[in-house]
Structure 1
């Protein structure tokens, strides 16, 4: 395996700019000592490879000499060959051990944080813009759960009865509302050149690991041990694996896919947090944009994904803001992430509805997704993702468009899909 495809972050970047990786680790709040450990492991592997290669070359040359020798000289060469064979086996074992040590350490290092991303943790984001004005009501606004029950949209009690906490039924007009929202997102995606996909929601371990979801956040993932398969928390995972091991033709521009799927998250460690309603649940539906492009195109593509997300938020007519997520709050695969947060009247604050991440070459390096440059040489592609619509949007739609009589006005863009202007109480 070559350096350009080994592990996750580019080892060439590590060797040439170790301070960049150290700064990234600090921005994430991670241990920067891993950089020196990784450099040492890389040097051990390279030395082991060089030593094994030299011994194999000597062994090959000795074989040629044996073919030309005879008598005592041949016997001596054969004896030397047996000794050398044992030395080669030991050197190859040392090479394998060094490669395994490097791979294990390398896999633990997250993507290099973009230098423009804010430093710090969950609360250190930077607000880039606010769009729209939070509504004012001359009545006490209800939260989405109360509204959902009155409107016949949600049934949390029976969801818990059937499946347990954090499960729910979308009922009647609630199911129609979700389909309307997702169909609107699908229509927007295809109009902008995305290929609509309905991917598998069970993936193999190497695909889940390749996208970076089996590291620090592996406790969030559902695993079917008997089948050795994982349930995806986003269609980013199967879409990232779609071109695994392939060389793409990116000469005419990025490849863009929009995955419509159910998603599953264990929400481990969040007991007591957002237990009410459907803000944080174990199963939801989502349309996720996913892009393969050349690394030099990734930042511009990231801006496009954010613009498409904002376009969808404008269509559901909710106030929102865009934040630049701090390095310490990024997932392992993301170099930079923008979140769009909608206003939730019952909470008096903004809550995340969408996010878009630039994963640079992190995922493609693990999954061996490449393209050919102008000289025809294979290079590692970049990947990006962004949410275009998801079940959580129902929270913002219901709460921001509620009326005093308990009904909810349907955003105009959703009306053709939903077939009504107002959702009335049951």
Structure 2
């Protein structure tokens, strides 16, 4: 969320941000509501001030004057009360527009309409060359009895999956490897519940626009979160931290849920686009300083790169253009791993810097060295998300007999095993 004072003073910049991010928002309407609300509140305050001035005179007034003063005081009070309903309506309308007002993208971010305009900035690793006919991840899972799709769909619905046998261990090993790395880097490991209140989803910016992506449990007034970012971002809501406490580094481990509304017919096979998954999320709370924020943005990206390299996967990094980065982002990178069966890279990590856009929504602040209260900056990035990462993992490391090579860095988490899967006779 942007500061209303900033919007008043920089309306052209905000209008341009809307254009760059393909967000339909009438900034002139927003400012008109703001002006009306200020006028209503000023009028209410003036009426109440007049009322209070009259009320103060009542005890000293003569018996003849007192009834007139009381009547005038009540009339002013009624006028002030009459303003409230309209002021509440205007304030709610203004707040709804402020929720969807975009963060100003970095001038370094590429300008574009959608993901087709994202800019590749790095490639790493060698694409595999197979001397046999390679299988896709679904065929590999079925060949080794590592997953069930049909039976579990009867129980849990479409886009469900059930990992089996060694693949369960691989999934757990990946998360453990990622968490060990993050702990060594100074992150606080936290497991968070799957549930979150509505205000936490507004706090990250997933609401109001992404409401159709969240599962709602009405009897408890709770939502299933699609990332631990939701819960962690609100851990310090309404707090004023000490500058000495920053940066705060969290690694959130949680089950995640997304309805995938609007994606029907796309990526429905296998593990790519499912309703439930497990994720370790990197989250940083740092000082309100663009340089500090950029430093942590790079560190988060480097950590994700290390994890993909440890899994020995070919990958590339793209910088997301303004039309693909999302409402609250200043700058954003995606890490994409190579999927041989599709002959393309698929996103496995998303690294975002939001400056104070989320902090203003949650009122997360700190007191700086000059005793001034500032909004913090927040950043987030995937550390590991399963089962999606299993797709390139299986396909890149498959052997002719259908077994899977375990990368050296993952072997300690797999009891030293170098391969999994039954060898063909």
Which residue does 1:109 correspond to in 2? 101
Which residue does 2:349 correspond to in 1? 354
**Is 1:305 the counterpart of 2:300 in the alignment?**
yes
Q: How far has the Cα of 1:336 moved from its partner?
A: 2.1
Which residue does 1:342 correspond to in 2? 337
CA RMSD across the alignment: 1.5
Which residue does 1:171 correspond to in 2? 164
Q: Alpha-carbon deviations, 1:21-58, whole Å to 9, x = none?
A: 111111111235x1111111111111222221222222
Q: Alpha-carbon deviations, 1:386-421, whole Å to 9, x = none?
A: 100111111111111111121111011100001211
Q: How far has the Cα of 1:98 moved from its partner?
A: 2.7
1:178-327, aligned counterparts within 5 Å? 178-296=171-289, 297-327=292-322
2:82 aligned to which of 71, 87, 90: 90
Q: Alpha-carbon deviations, 1:56-103, whole Å to 9, x = none?
A: 222211111222211323232222112211112123334323322211
Which residue does 2:380 correspond to in 1? 385
- Distance in 2, matches of 1:300 and 1:47, equals 43
- Distance in 1, matches of 2:24 and 2:299, equals 33
- Distance in 1, matches of 2:408 and 2:144, equals 19
Which residue does 1:74 correspond to in 2? 66
Question: 2:315·2:335 contact (CA, 8 Å) conserved in 1?
Answer: yes
Question: 1:52·1:95 contact (CA, 8 Å) conserved in 2?
Answer: no
Which residue does 1:424 correspond to in 2? 421
- Distance in 1, matches of 2:421 and 2:86, equals 71
Normalising by the residue count of structure 1, what TM-score does the alignment of the two structures yield? 0.94
Provide structure 2 residue ranges, at least 5 long, that are not aligned to the other structure.
none
Question: 1:117·1:327 contact (CA, 8 Å) conserved in 2?
Answer: yes
Q: How far has the Cα of 1:333 moved from its partner?
A: 2.9
Deviates most, 255-264 or 325-334:
325-334
Q: Residues 375 and 50 of structure 1: is their aligned pair in 2 closer, same or farther, counting only changes over 3 Å?
A: farther
Question: 1:215·1:332 contact (CA, 8 Å) conserved in 2?
Answer: no
Which residue does 1:363 correspond to in 2? 358
- Distance in 2, matches of 1:168 and 1:319, equals 26
Normalising by the residue count of structure 2, what TM-score does the alignment of the two structures yield? 0.95
Which residue does 1:396 correspond to in 2? 392
Q: How far has the Cα of 1:126 moved from its partner?
A: 0.7
Question: 2:204·2:358 contact (CA, 8 Å) conserved in 1?
Answer: yes
- Distance in 1, matches of 2:144 and 2:242, equals 49
* Number of positions where the alignment pairs a residue of Structure 1 with one of Structure 2: 418
**Is 1:20 the counterpart of 2:13 in the alignment?**
yes
- Distance in 2, matches of 1:278 and 1:68, equals 80
Q: How far has the Cα of 1:312 moved from its partner?
A: 0.7
- Distance in 2, matches of 1:250 and 1:178, equals 38
1:48 aligned to which of 21, 40, 54: 40
Which residue does 1:5 correspond to in 2? none
- Distance in 2, matches of 1:164 and 1:81, equals 65
Which residue does 1:4 correspond to in 2? none
Partner-residue secondary structure (3-state), 1:340: strand
1:153-168, aligned counterparts within 5 Å? 153-168=146-161
Q: How far has the Cα of 1:252 moved from its partner?
A: 4.5
- Distance in 2, matches of 1:109 and 1:281, equals 30
- Distance in 1, matches of 2:145 and 2:329, equals 39
- Distance in 1, matches of 2:159 and 2:243, equals 42
Partner-residue secondary structure (3-state), 1:412: coil
- Distance in 2, matches of 1:284 and 1:93, equals 45
Deviates most, 69-78 or 316-325:
69-78
**Is 1:100 the counterpart of 2:92 in the alignment?**
yes
Partner-residue secondary structure (3-state), 1:327: coil
Question: 1:151·1:423 contact (CA, 8 Å) conserved in 2?
Answer: no
1:145 aligned to which of 128, 132, 138: 138
